[in-house]
Amino acid sequence: MGSGDGWQQPAPAPAEFQGLGQPVQQPPTWQYPPIPIPQPPGPGRRRKPRRLSKNLLIGLVVLAVLVVGTGVTLALRNTGDDKLPAASNTPTAEPTAQPSETPTAAPSTPTVPAPPTVDEIVTTSKLYTVGALSPTQCLEPKAIPSTYAGAKAYYGLIVPCMNRSWYLAMRKASLPYRAPKLVVFAGPLKTVCGQESGNRAFYCGTTETIYMPYTLGVAYYKRNPISGRVWMMNTLAHEYGHHVQKLAGIYAASLSRQVNAATPAEQLAESRKRELQASCFGSAYLGAAGPYIPLRGPLLATWKVLVANTGDEFSRPRVHDHGTRVNHNYWSVRGFNTKGPNLCNTFVSTPALTS
């Protein structure tokens, strides 16, 4: 069961189920074109020079000096070509190292993928791809759970075996792993997940703790040691299934979906999917470890009776939040036979199989 919720059932047994790049440099808009230099006129037909008199030659020299001193600049300006720029030692536009005024594109930022939605987390978890769990060849503990110390030792010896199998599965799925805490309690108990009277098992996702009730387990053991041991193993495996959900993010995502469901009926439907999956996960471990626990012979026969008679029909008060006994049997046997979580995706199943 989840955070403090679950049910009891009559005999034979009950079951309870979280860089920036630099701005692009634009090419400069200016350029420095060469200025055409006027060429002197080409050579013409040469005439035979005429000999001037000495006095005339002296006069021409004096006149030339006067012209050069007063009018040569004006003469040159009046005879220039309008189609050619005036020669100058200065470029028409100064070079600049600044980029053009054309707006540059904004620096690109790395694309961050959007986080998965709660629907994607519960329906497409990598946990559904790991295949069969690896058994750790753990034998059933020799501890006799007829006393508090015996029950605590019994549960305490099974949990490390579950830790190893689920650790390997989570690593294969590239998901984080943390071992859960275990508390065996007798009598009323107050936790951060609520108050418990002492007669049901539950998982507290806030502290990642599995709570197993001593009084209920020992009562079934004293009535029938085989059915008592089966109830203890199956219930512990179910609560561990909630811990697996918590590590994979399924537990929190499912609770979010439940809280935000539109109607009370949809909220109960979400709870059933989460609880039935926990039973499937727990049974997958029992199936993988079956040759060593050993869950065969009278133990296996009793387990089959247990999972076939666990459901909301036996809860008091009757709340339809864990699934009918038919569906509980369906998902438990499914997980046990496949020995892994691959076929435990209750969140994509039909409503008929999660009722």
> Residue 317: what pLDDT?
82
Is residue 172 within 8 A of residue 201, CB to CB? The reply is no
By residue count, the chain amounts to 355
Relative to beta strand 209-213, strand 202-204 is antiparallel
Please name which of 199, 238, 203, 224 lies closest in space to residue 145, comparing C-alpha atoms.
224
**pLDDT at 197 (0 to 100):** 83
Q: How high is the pLDDT of residue 352?
A: 97
H helical segments located in 290-324: 298-308
Q: At what angle do helices 298-308 and 225-248 cross, to 10 degrees?
A: 60
Q: What pLDDT does 51 receive?
A: 52
pLDDT score recorded for residue 113: 85
Which pLDDT value is given to residue 103? 54
Reading the block at residue 41, the tokens are: 């006129």
Who contacts 255 (Cβ-Cβ below 8 Å, separation ≥6)?
A: 2, 18, 205, 274
| CA–CA dist 285, 289 (Å, integer) | 6
Q: With a threshold of 0.75, does the pTM exceed it?
A: no
Q: Identify the pLDDT of residue 136.
A: 87
Please give the pLDDT value at position 196.
Answer: 87
| Count of C-beta atoms within a 10 Å radius of residue 35 | 13
Q: pLDDT by residue for the chain (355 residues), tens digit each?
A: 554 444 333 333 333 333 333 333 333 333 333 334 344 444 444 444 455 445 544 444 444 443 344 443 333 333 333 333 333 444 444 444 444 454 556 666 778 889 999 999 999 999 999 999 998 889 999 999 999 999 999 999 999 999 999 999 999 999 999 999 999 999 899 999 998 887 899 999 999 999 999 999 999 999 999 999 999 999 999 999 999 999 999 999 999 999 999 999 999 999 999 999 999 999 999 999 988 887 889 999 999 999 999 999 988 888 999 999 999 999 999 999 999 999 999 999 999 999 9
**Measured distance between the N- and C-terminal CA atoms of the chain, rounded to whole angstroms:** 16
